[in-house]
Amino acid sequence: MATIIVRAATPADIPLILELIAGLAEYERLAHEAVADAADLERALFGPRPAAEVVIAECEGRAAGFALCFVSFSTFLGKPGLYLEDLFVRPQFRGRGIGKRLMVHLARLAVERGYGRFEWSVLDWNTPAIDFYRSIGARPMDEWTVQRLDGQALRALAGQGSALLDAP
C-alpha cells in the first residue's frame, strides 16, 4: 500500500501548483483559460488576505495531486461553507485513493471549522468525477445552474455603478 500524505501548500509550492493547474486545465479542455502566474498565486494564496487555500497530496514522496478551496457562506444555515474550486490527481496516480484522501481531508477541515456544508461544481461530461462524487455520498443540485460574469461582461456591469450613482 502506497504512503499518501495530504499537506497544506506553502509559498515554495507555487511552481508545483502551477504545474497541477496546467494538468487540470488540459484534462478539462480549458488550457486556453489557465492564465494564472506565480505572482497571482502568491498574492491569492499567501498574501495578507488569502482568498483560497491549497492542499497537496503526495504519494511515496511525489506530488500526486491537489485541491484548492475557499470559504463560502450560506445565509440559510447562517454558517460558512467550504467551496472546492479544483481537485486534480495526476493521471499516473489515479486509482490509488488520492482523490478520496483529498476529499476526506477537506471534509474534516469543514467539520473542524464548524462549517455547514462542503460543495463544488463538476463539468457535466466528466463522468469519472461524477461517479466518484456519488461514491462518497455527494448529491447533485439539479435545480441550480452556475452563472458567471467574467472578462468584458464583468467590466461592463461594474462600469454601470457610477452611472447609477449619478442618476437623479
Which sequence positions are flagged as catalytic?
Answer: 133
What CA–CA distance (Å, rounded) separates 128 from 134? 10
Cell reading at 144: 441550480
Residues 69-99, buried b or exposed e (16+ Cβ, 10 A)?
A: beebeeeeeeebbbbbebbbbbeebeebbbb
